[in-house]
Chains A and B, each alone.
Chain A
Amino acid sequence: MIPFDFEYYQPSTVAEAIDAFTMLDEKGKDPVYYGGGSELISMARLGNRNFGAVVDIKEIPECKVLGYANDNLHLGSALTLSEIIESKQFPLMEKSAGRIADHTMQCKITLGGNIAGTIIYREAVLPLLLTDSKITIASRRGVNDYWIRHLFHKRLNLQKGDFIVKVSIPQNLLQIPYFHIKKTTNEKIDYPLLTTAGLKTEGKLKIAFSGLKAYPFRDDDVEKVLNDEHLDFQERAQKIAIALSHDILNDLWGSAAYRKFVLVNTIENILQTMKDA
């Protein structure tokens, strides 16, 4: 039971959504955008989050787009993880989205919610970081495209009142060799101890991480070491682990030292598996 009262708005266009949010904010109603609601409802129920109004973006057609234009695959922010998985257009995204939650929750969690919510793992962002995708943001200043790597540093840098409309992934990267390894404490479905996702283009590996630290990330220096042919696989793994040592997550799911151990093994496995890809 959510123990407080709030208003519900359901805009049918981007402009209506922005206007509603602006109006509610100015009235001091502390509005939030609402996608699947899994985070919002859990947190509200436990008294960890209050809001005076929700603006439901799921009926905005641009937020539900799933198709191709201008050599890009466009995925709307209000698509559920299940819808994305079942579309079978982007195997790496299928894998990344597919291990986030149980099926029932996958039918509710939205792409935008996973990327811009408060839970730190944001595993659906990994394929976007790897493919240098674009992200379309609606704000009071209009609707604009950004490179995701410019806007995402630990989390998506949005202003109050902004929301994600869609992401655009270069079509030519959808089917290239990839890897996705998710390590958990002991479950098939759980928050990650370590999720690594990556691609191989032009003989080089790209890699992105979630669960290792309190935010998902790609690191150019790590990718250099990953592709350094002067070192054997074990040496590369060790060097990467040392480089990433500071601020490794330490929580209920696993200690920092254990995560580091898992990281070394995982990097070695990736190098082994992808060497002939």
Chain B
Amino acid sequence: MPKTGVGVTVIRKGAYSKVTGEAKYSDDFVLPSILTAKIVTSTQAHARIKKIDLSKALAQTGVKAILTGKDHSLLCGPIIKDRPPLAKEKVRYYGEPVALVVANSEYQAAHAASLIKVEYEALPAVLSPSEAIAPGATLLHENLGDYQIAVLDNYPKAKTNICGHIKIRKGDIGVLEDCDVVIEGHFSLPQSDHVAMEPRTARAKIDADENVFIKTSSQSPFEVKKMIAELFALDPGKVIVEVPFVGGGFGGKSAVQLETLALMASKAVGGAEVRITNSRENDFVSSPCRMGLEATIKLGATKEGLLKAAQMTYLVDTGAYSDIGPRLAKAVAVDCSGPYYIENIFCDSLCVYTNHPYVTAFRSFSHESSTFCIERMMDKLAHKLKIEPAELRRRNSLMPGFTSPTQVRITNSNFGDLLSCIDRVKELIGWNEGIYIDAGNDVVRAKGIACLWKTSNSPPDAHSSAFITFNQDGSVNLNCGCVECGPGMKTTAAQILSEKLQMDIKRVNVNMDVNTKYNPEHWKTVASMTTYMLGNAVLQAAEDAIRQLKSLAAVIIKCHPEDLEIGEERVYLKQDPTIFLPFAELVHGHRYPNGNSIEGPVLGRGSFIMSNIDLLDKETGKGKSGPAWTVGAQAVEIEFDKKEYTYRFLKAATVIDAGKVINPKIAEGLVKGGMCMGLGLGSREHFTYDQEGRFEDTSLRSYKVMHFGQTPQYLVSFVETPQIDAPYHARGIGEHGIIGIPAALANALSLAAQVEFDQFPITPELIWQLKTGGGV
């Protein structure tokens, strides 16, 4: 049964190779001659490196090279170039790579690595953002003022631990003190991990023609190409990055780290191919993780619950190096109000260094953390004013004509229908049956709600592109640079093309891998912007191909191209579809019976670049950060034991305004996956450290994630309000399933336990501590 276009569930491209185990991921390519590199990592959170003894390691069989900070002077970072790939002179986080051993076999590399002795002189460790900005705090980066900054709109403060600061100054904050009610909240959220099934891995080699090949499990092959070319002063045309299937990214694989180490290793061994793969422990701690956040928020409202003013300070814990941290701080500020109208906002969002592992993008790019804060505040306000929590949110929803924190005017197209999302999620979770139900026997069932919104913080020149070619039978090939890492972007792009060409999806082929040499550039597969950017590029490429097909067919049929339509792999005359030419007779040019041939092959070309995205004003934050928001509402129902302070999940519901759902089952799965991650974050996942900042839960024995059997009943529904400039009006939804879940969970538990949870994860011990004060 042929399936065509968008709005229909099709089996995702590449599914069979994945479920049969045939799919190859970056480290599955086994080559007998490949060398292996292993990192030696810091056992201190903050220390001077006094001595590294390599003598025993160098003497081991099979060891080809050992690199340390002394062997390079590279500084990396997409925003601030502050991170040496191997620590130089000092270490700034537990797990920081200190040495790199390159050997013939994995065993030889591991064995030699175990023989390297590092002597440290401990320095005071800065273990929270508030500690980091306190007067007299130890500085992590004494030379912050001297670092190269790769962007125009980041303003680190030299001689401090502040590497970024975004200000929102909208309206008049004086209004706050005149409000009928003012509530204040303090929030503290720890770092956590992506826990992708496939740990990060990369390999590099340099051939005789000085081409550099990098194969990596990355969400950003073109970023890898750019960074590597810049860092090593290479001709970008000679840097070739390959990405096969990626076993989960969640933002963690958008950063560039192992690729740099792999190339440093390859250079040290004359260009031989070297692979480096993280152990799970390395993946947790040495490679970047999810940000932490401390926040202080004051909200002022009328007694009817209408928000009037907000004063907010956010401290993003970016860890030892900035990476994309300053953009995370920006994202916090851009969407700090939640999807609500607040006329007067005074917000400072700081990106702060600490001696924690450094951070990078994580699913929803700070929104899971900032949404927790604003949504807990909404529940506090609802409680104070005795207004029903869902109703309070309805009253405050942004509407067309109102403005966001960065003073972007809201429209139906760029925002969507939050009210319908709230109403529908209430139905799904059974909100009106009661949000606090005493079930007897010390058991209580409670429901919590949270709204979400997210726009992107991609650079103003983020872009995508697509090429279309055809096969001799008229089937089509889509050539694109997005990465297949879980959300099924290849399938989405193929369905968009299938819709535009009115062709069976099975006849639309798409490259499942990415190779920067052959695929046209796509900024990064992140930010839930791939449908928008790549989808628009695909549409443009399809239109280009259609124009060529119609132009050629018009010559042969002897009509005007405007009279032609396409469908079912034919170009046909609108007024008489029995007059047609099959694609197969057009796509490689057309051959007349006498042999003369004209016009072909048909090649479709499409490009897309973000338009009218601004750099935010340095003082007010005014500016447009992304093309549109995706909004939604989520709810969680739990069952709480009042005696033991334990709880279990009953239901979790999400309604998102998707604009247009491209593939219903994929969309549903995507949202459920996000909800599962949100529940994990809210209930059990976090990094813990000892007094000196050394990591304690470095493996899956102690860092717990959600398992089957612990999950709730998931309920997912979509609303469709068109985003006019999006392909088939489809909004980005890749990340959103996670955003409001930790908040909705905390709201449900706060109601059930009758205490305020302003942090996560919320464990039974935390509940017991807040309820009883911690004594017996």
Contacts and interface: CB of A to CB of B under 8 A. Distances in A.
Interface of A: 1-5, 42, 45-47, 185-191, 241, 252-255, 257-258, 260-262, 264-265
A260 B281 CA distance: 32
A42 to B, nearest CB: 8
Contacts of A187: 684, 704, 707, 710
A82 B616 CA distance: 60
Nearest to A189: B707
B210 interface: no
Given A1-B107, A4-B111, A187-B707, A258 B768 contact: yes
A252 B696 contact: yes
A45 B114 CA distance: 10
A264 B644 contact: no
Nearest to B684: A186
B114 A185 contact: no
Contacts of B114: 3-4, 47
B691 interface: no
Interface string B279-303: 1010000000000000000000000
Nearest to B107: A1
B709 interface: yes
Given A185-B763, A257-B774, 7 more contacts: A1-B107, A2-B110, A4-B114, A187-B704, A188-B707, A188-B709, A241-B776
Contacts of A262: 644
Contacts of A261: 768, 772, 776
Given A46-B281, A187-B684, A3 B709 contact: no
Nearest to B277: A1
Given A47-B114, A260-B776, A188 B765 contact: no
A182 B668 CA distance: 35
Nearest to B112: A3
A254 B107 contact: no
8 contacts: A2-B110, A3-B110, A4-B111, A46-B281, A186-B646, A187-B710, A191-B701, A258-B769
A252 B261 CA distance: 33
Interface residues of B, number: 32
Given A46-B281, A188-B707, A265-B644, A3 B764 contact: no
Contact of B113 (A3, A42, A189, A258): A3
Nearest to A187: B704
Given A255-B765, A261-B768, A188 B696 contact: no
Interface in B743-776: 761, 763-765, 768-769, 772, 774-776
B209 to A, nearest CB: 34
Contacts of B688: 252
A245 to B, nearest CB: 9
Interface of B: 106-107, 110-111, 113-114, 279, 281, 643-644, 646, 683-684, 688, 696-697, 701-702, 704, 707, 709-710, 761, 763-765, 768-769, 772, 774-776
A45 B280 CA distance: 11
Nearest to A242: B776
A110 B170 CA distance: 65
A186 B644 contact: no
Contact of B107 (A3, A42, A46, A258): A3
Given A254-B765, A257-B774, A188 B710 contact: yes
Contacts of A191: 701
Contacts of B697: 252
B776 A186 contact: no
Contacts of B683: 186
For the complex of A and B, list the 3 residue pairs with the smallest distance between their C-beta atoms, beginning with the closest.
A3-B110, A3-B114, A1-B110
Contacts of A1: 106-107, 110
B84 to A, nearest CB: 24
Contact of A258 (B111, B281, B702, B765): B765
Contacts of B281: 46
A65 to B, nearest CB: 31
A186 B705 CA distance: 10
Contacts of B106: 1
B763 A186 contact: yes
Contacts of B776: 241, 257, 260-261, 264
Contacts of A241: 776
A116 to B, nearest CB: 19
A71 B261 CA distance: 64
Contacts of B775: 257
A47 B110 CA distance: 10
Which of A47, A241, A258 gathers most chain B CB within 10 Å? A258
Nearest to B764: A186
Which of A42, A241, A265 gathers most chain B CB within 10 Å? A265
Nearest to A268: B643
Given A188-B709, A257-B776, A252 B702 contact: yes
Contacts of A190: 704
